[in-house]
Structure 1
Amino acid sequence: MDELMSETAQWAQLQDLLVHHEDVQDFLQELARLSASSLSVRGTTYCGITLQRSRDHQFTVASSDREALQMDEIQYAFGDGPCLHAIRIQDEVHVGNAASDSRWPEYMEHIRDYGIRSMYSVPLKLGGHAKAAMNLYAKDPDVFDEDFRRVARTYAAEASHALLLAVRVSQHAATVEDLQAVLASRTDIDLAVGIIMGQNRCTQQEAFDTLRRASNGRNLKVRVLAAEMVARLNGEPAQTHFTAG
């Protein structure tokens, strides 16, 4: 299908999203917009990304526009529809024309009122307990034909890989931040202990016990009291001497 981008171009664009959006929520929002624009070859395609944490708890984590969000939320209200069914069976669900499709009749009636005719939902493979799907909507019937669905399946698979990588990068960043906080606290405590040792001419253990008693007496955590002591002496917070890789 000439109008749709090649698999190489798809992955290149998804990689570009990963580089420029370290935050998973920002990445998802841009992924929804990129998916909608990349797959809008026969008129406007709307894209929503649904995350399901349990059978009764699903929500749209990103959408290309308000139309996609509305279509998703109507589906959640009825508790069934193409997207939720796709997540349930872990397979794609295609609606060629909502005006004549007899599945999910109440949902279809509401969708028709919004002018939506074509729908296509494809699961995103995340692993673990969480499940997700990419939901595509269009106002004309029969927009998502077999050629379109073949490309969209490939695109969704690449998006799944990119999303997994984005989550792992985000988790790694959080781990690094936690490590930095721990090391910064350790630096403050060590410096405070050194200050007390110098002032009282005592051992390291005696200095730490003094610091701990003072923290209990002031109802402050040891690291907070230590940071205050170091800041008073230096006039600024202590600096840790390490590089996070």
Structure 2
Amino acid sequence: MDDYDAQPDRKPPPGPELSPAQLEADEFDLNAGLSGLAGIVAGACGVDEMLRQVAQFAVQAIPGADGAGVTLIYPHDADSGDELRIQAWSVTADFVQTIDTLQYDKLGEGPCITCIQTRRPAVSGSLGSDRRWPRFGGSVARMGVHSVLALPLTVGDRVVGSINSYARSKDAFTEHAVQLGSQFAGPAAVSVYNSQVLANTQLRTTQLQQALRSRAVIDQAIGIIRSRSGATAQEAFDRLTRISQREHIKLADVAEQLVDEAVRRARARQ
């Protein structure tokens, strides 16, 4: 398997040839992780919890991983040259949280960012000497973590996030691990993307419902002003707007206050 970015100028020492039993065990773990992915029901949990579950299944599926994190990015950032914007991420261990915070919030460099930009897996077996991320690699190596496998999560031609697997030992992620990780990343990307689409749809639905409720209250307030003053609809709306600007209150809140006041007066007259 050649379609990944290995650490430049580093040839990892030859590892022991995997026995049929070990290959079978790795295949079993991969299938268990994929089965776990298939069991995640979109919408049954929040995005953060879904990402946490995907990260846990990644540790199970990828040989050599001591911990993993799954990152979700804003859709438009995958195809732009803008700085990477993280929508959400979740991890399986505290040390992964520390590493990814360093990568995203402090340094702006690291394997996740690279694999999202190149759309190829990124592998390092000695982070302390990896010239691709000089600040990140040295800091992580001092934490006692020396290997990383970062896998882009792609759906069609869109990158929606990444899986970052870390190991404390050097050269933990062989070509075999990259191959199994890539097999896991495909279905994982679909799960992450579906969750992202569902969350965005729910947000837009909520916003639309709020807008419709606000519009209804504003229309009621306009009707009250017109009944009291004989103003046109536009004149009544302009009056609400002036109050909103003067009092620094949202237009919908001004309208709601006016409607509530009218209701209280009507009840008092009964």
The answer to whether the superposition gives a TM-score over 0.5 is yes
Residues 105-116 of structure 1 aligned to structure 2 (within 5 Å): 106=134, 108-116=137-145
1:9 deviation in Å? 0.9
Q: How does 1:145-156 map to 2 (within 5 A)?
A: 145-156=174-185
- Looking at structure 1, the residues matched to 144 and 188 of structure 2 have their Cα atoms a distance apart, in angstroms, of 28
Partners in 2 of 1:65 and 1:122 — Cα distance? Answer: 18
Q: Which residue of 2 aligns with 1:45?
A: 67
Distance 2:107 2:225 in 1: 66
Give runs of ≥4 in structure 1 deviating > 6 Å: 76-79, 99-102, 127-131
* TM-score normalised over the length of structure 2: 0.63
Moved more, 116-125 or 143-152: 143-152
Which of 121, 133, 152 lines up with 2:150 in the alignment?
121
Matches within 5 A, 1:229-244: 229-234=258-263
Quickly say closer, same or farther: Cα 1:154–1:234, change in 2 above 3 A.
farther
Contact kept in structure 2, 1:212 and 1:222, CA below 8 Å: no
| Matching residue's letter, 2:193 | L
Task: Give yes or no for contact 1:117–1:141 (8 Å, CA) kept in 2.
Answer: yes
2:37 paired residue number:
11
Task: Count residues with an aligned counterpart.
Answer: 227
Percent of aligned pairs with the same amino acid: 20
1:57 aligns with 83
1:160-219 deviation per Cα after TM superposition (whole angstroms, max 9, x unaligned): 22222222222212221221122112211232344345556x5xx635524533652573
Q: Counterpart of 1:67 in structure 2: which amino acid?
A: F
1:242 aligned residue: none
RMSD of equivalent CA atoms: 3.9
On the 8 A contact 1:189/1:227 being kept in 2, the answer is: yes
Correspondence list, 1:168-183, <5 A:
168-183=197-212
Tell me how far apart the structure 2 counterparts of residues 93 and 234 of structure 1 sit (CA, whole Å).
64
Alpha-carbon offset, residue 71 of structure 1 = 3.2
Residue type of the alignment partner of 1:39: A
Q: Where does the alignment leave 5 or more consecutive residues of structure 1 unmatched? A: 236-245
Greater RCO structure (CA 8 Å; 6+ sep): 2
Match of residue 267 from structure 2:
none
Q: Runs of 5+ in structure 2 lacking a partner?
A: 1-26, 265-270
Tell me the equivalent position of 1:35. Answer: 58
Q: Which residue of 1 aligns with 2:98?
A: 70
Offset at 1:57? 3.3
Alpha-carbon separation, structure 2, partners of 1:25 and 1:46: 14
